[in-house]
């Protein structure tokens, strides 16, 4: 990826990558730490074998605290990763720390079966864990967006004029020693983290469900047929129903909070799943649908439109003796 490209492009050699870097005058020259295809039909196939930690100077009050964060992060990595000695780059506005590790696909390990996307979660856990939660919160490494800056390339954020080239250039502070410590040194603490997260998630969901139960729902801002639809599991049209009817209704008509809407939709999809297995990630769908409904402010699909687009659901509502 380069500033000129503006998107990630797959290449098959260093020479091909260099061609694109040169065409962009080496401005914002980056490469993904992971290959193009890390999963297959939602099944993780590639291990989380690269640690990326971003320390942004703007997140620290003083130069001393910024440098101390780097020192402590490197110390943590050395102690908790069997003497790890990563690459450290100065990027103009902070430090990037890159450490390859010897890893395996966590989804294939029994002790992680109960958790969702453990390999992806590991990438985000480890940057906070090893940096004592000092890593940049806006930089969340994933398999599709773990973009590493190329040494001696230029960071466009600091490339203001000819005099600023020196600051904008990516500098090597420390070079990786070529050793890949094993992921096993981090797995015990990672599993504890996952358990804590799951407990927090369950507790938060219980609080929301309790609030929903106790909350009186007034008839104002209520569309009766959609309320009934929320009680009826369906076999098809589930994605469109969430995107075009339920999410816009809960967010823009009922004006419920994100968390309240999320729980309602997840519960509804679980009912649908019991009727016919879902072929998509329900949490991802719901998050996307709620964000779109909130950003665009779109109203839910009208009943007449539903009748034209999916007569089966319309008839299901009719069977429930609803006054349409």
Identify whether 203 is part of a domain. no
Residue 259 and residue 134 share a domain = no
Count of residues for the chain?
324
Q: Rounded to whole angstroms, how far apart are CA atoms 38 and 119?
A: 11
Residue 262 and residue 181 share a domain = no
Identify whether 243 is part of a domain. yes
Identify whether 146 is part of a domain. no
Identify whether 256 is part of a domain. yes
Residue 125 and residue 263 share a domain = no
Residue 182 and residue 53 share a domain = yes
- Can you tell me whether residue 109 is helix, strand or coil? coil
Structural element, H or E, at residue 228: helix 224-229
Identify whether 65 is part of a domain. yes
For 75, the domain range is 38-85+100-138+174-192
Predicted pLDDT at 2: 96
Q: What are phi and psi of 147, to 5 degrees?
A: -90, 120
Identify whether 16 is part of a domain. no
- Can you tell me whether residue 84 is helix, strand or coil? coil
Q: Which residues fall within 8 angstroms of residue 120, CB to CB, at 6 or more apart?
A: 44, 48, 142, 143
Predicted pLDDT at 218: 47
Residue 123 and residue 61 share a domain = yes
Q: Count of domains in the chain?
A: 2
Q: Rounded to whole angstroms, how far apart are CA atoms 60 and 68?
A: 10
Residue 229 and residue 179 share a domain = no
CA nearest to 177, candidates 324, 297, 78: 78
Per-residue pLDDT of the chain (324 residues; tens, 9 = 90+): 999 999 999 999 999 999 999 999 999 999 999 998 888 888 899 999 999 999 999 999 999 999 999 999 999 999 999 999 999 999 999 999 999 999 999 999 999 988 989 999 999 999 999 999 999 998 888 999 899 999 999 999 988 877 778 889 999 999 999 999 999 999 999 999 999 988 888 888 888 877 766 554 444 578 889 998 999 899 888 999 999 999 999 999 998 999 999 999 999 999 999 999 999 999 999 999 999 999 999 899 998 888 888 887 888 787 655 445
Residue 188 and residue 230 share a domain = no
Residue 312 and residue 178 share a domain = no
């Amino acid at each position: 990826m380069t500033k000129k490209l503006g998107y990630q492009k797959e290449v098959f050699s260093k020479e091909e990558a260099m061609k694109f870097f040169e065409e962009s005058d080496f401005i914002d020259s980056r490469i993904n730490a992971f290959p193009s295809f890390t999963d297959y039909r939602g099944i993780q196939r590639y291990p989380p074998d690269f640690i990326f930690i971003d320390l942004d100077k703007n997140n620290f009050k003083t130069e001393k605290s910024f440098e101390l964060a780097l020192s402590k992060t490197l110390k943590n990595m050395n102690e908790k990763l069997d003497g790890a000695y990563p690459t450290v780059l100065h990027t103009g506005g902070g430090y990037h720390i890159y450490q390859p590790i010897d890893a395996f696909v966590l989804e294939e390990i029994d002790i992680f079966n109960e958790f969702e996307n453990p390999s992806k979660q590991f990438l985000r856990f480890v940057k906070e864990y090893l940096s004592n939660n000092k890593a940049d919160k806006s930089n969340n490494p994933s398999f599709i967006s773990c973009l590493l800056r190329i040494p001696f390339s230029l960071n466009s954020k600091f490339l203001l004029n000819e005099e600023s080239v020196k600051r904008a250039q990516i500098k090597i502070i420390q070079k990786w020693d070529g050793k890949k410590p094993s992921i096993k040194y981090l797995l015990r603490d990672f599993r504890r983290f996952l358990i804590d997260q799951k407990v927090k998630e369950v507790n938060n969901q219980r609080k929301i469900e309790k609030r929903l139960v106790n909350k009186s729902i007034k008839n104002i801002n209520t569309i009766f047929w959609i309320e009934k639809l929320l009680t009826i599991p369906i076999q098809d049209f589930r994605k469109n129903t969430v995107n075009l009817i339920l999410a816009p209704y809960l967010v823009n008509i009922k004006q419920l909070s994100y968390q309240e809407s999320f729980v309602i939709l997840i519960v509804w999809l679980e009912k649908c799943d019991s009727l016919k297995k879902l072929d998509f990630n329900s949490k991802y769908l719901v998050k996307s649908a709620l964000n779109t409904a909130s950003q665009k402010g779109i109203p839910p699909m009208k009943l007449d439109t539903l009748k034209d687009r999916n007569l089966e659901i319309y008839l299901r509502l009719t069977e429930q003796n609803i006054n349409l």
